[in-house]
Amino acid sequence: MSKPKKGKRFNYPLETVLKVRNIQERQEHDKFIASEKKVKEEKQKEDQVKQEQTQAYDELSGLMTQETLPDTSLINMRTHHLTVLKDKVDDQIKKREDAEEKRDEQRESLSQAIKKRKIIDKDKDKTRKQWKKIMDKEEGKFLDELGSIQHANKMPNQKS
């Protein structure tokens, strides 16, 4: 993707892109954590509503098993309350499922952001290796020149 340039220090030309990708990844990670928290809250609400529903069923069955039957209006009130609780449970299950769907979507976008950042990281590593090779060649050329200059300087001294 990017080509290394000669220099004393390694300067990655796509450093700003890498910074942007890191920021995007961090933002996606924060969103994912928030969606995880939302799923947990919805699950707790669901458990709470289910527990309330169970208690209402237990109360109604307790009323029905008494030796003297209570009046029908009380039983009708309790059964209506149970249907309302059943609707609440169904709504809460739907909310939890929606939250889980959003969490899964967020997980996917987080993994995409991670992949994009890793691509730039790999390119940076490859560019650094290429720069190192170029700098090693330049150093070798410099040392060869020094050696040839010293050799050339010794040659006239030996003739005289």
Backbone angles phi, psi at 5, to 5 degrees: -120, 150
The helix (run of H) or strand (run of E) holding residue 70 is none
Which pLDDT score, from 0 to 100, does residue 98 have? 96
What CA–CA distance (Å, rounded) separates 156 from 152?
7
Average pLDDT score, the chain? 88
pTM: 0.73
- Model confidence at 157, pLDDT cuts 50, 70, 90, reads low
What CA–CA distance (Å, rounded) separates 112 from 28?
9
pLDDT at 115 over 90: yes
DSSP 3-62: ----SSS---TTHHHHHHHHHHHHHHHHHHHHHHHHHHHHHHHHHHHHHHHHHHHHHHHH
